[in-house]
């Protein structure tokens, strides 16, 4: 018998958004989506008209399209998926010798 995974469990998105609505409103909007257990938004860069933010979302079987739609409804644009985790367990990244060479 094959155990089914839990779909997408973690998403880290690079998002460009206008100053309004503020990040607290966006975080609350995303947290209300079905299957979303938690949302973190970190301000990366700010300029005169926009904010570049990193959005981390955790949950079970996350619906990527619904998340993107919600971000767009708040005026944001997803630039990239910076990290994704899927399956029954979120696997923590381990440092490798190559990572140490980049420092």
**What are 43-68's pLDDT values in tens digits?**
999 999 999 999 999 999 999 999 99
Query: What CATH number does the domain located at 8-89 have?
Result: 3.30.70.1340
Look up the pTM and report it: 0.86
**CB of 33 closer than 8 Å to CB of 51:** no
DSSP summary character for residue 89 = S
Instruction: Tell me the domain boundaries of the chain.
Output: 8-89
- Cα 43 to chain centroid distance, Å, stands at 13
**Site of tokens 């299957």:** 35
Give the pLDDT confidence of 30-44 residue by residue, as tens digits: 999 999 999 999 999
**94 has pLDDT over 80:** no
């Amino acid at each position: 018998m094959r155990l089914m995974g839990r779909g997408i469990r973690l998403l880290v998105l690079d998002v460009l958004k206008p100053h309004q609505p503020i990040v607290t409103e966006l975080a609350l909007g995303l947290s209300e989506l079905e299957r979303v257990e938690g949302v973190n938004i970190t301000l990366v860069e700010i300029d005169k008209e926009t904010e570049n933010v990193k959005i981390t979302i955790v949950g079970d079987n996350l619906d990527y399209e619904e998340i993107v739609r919600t971000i767009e409804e708040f005026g944001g644009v997803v630039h990239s998926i910076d990290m994704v985790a899927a399956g029954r367990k979120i696997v923590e990244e381990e440092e490798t010798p190559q990572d140490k060479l980049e420092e």
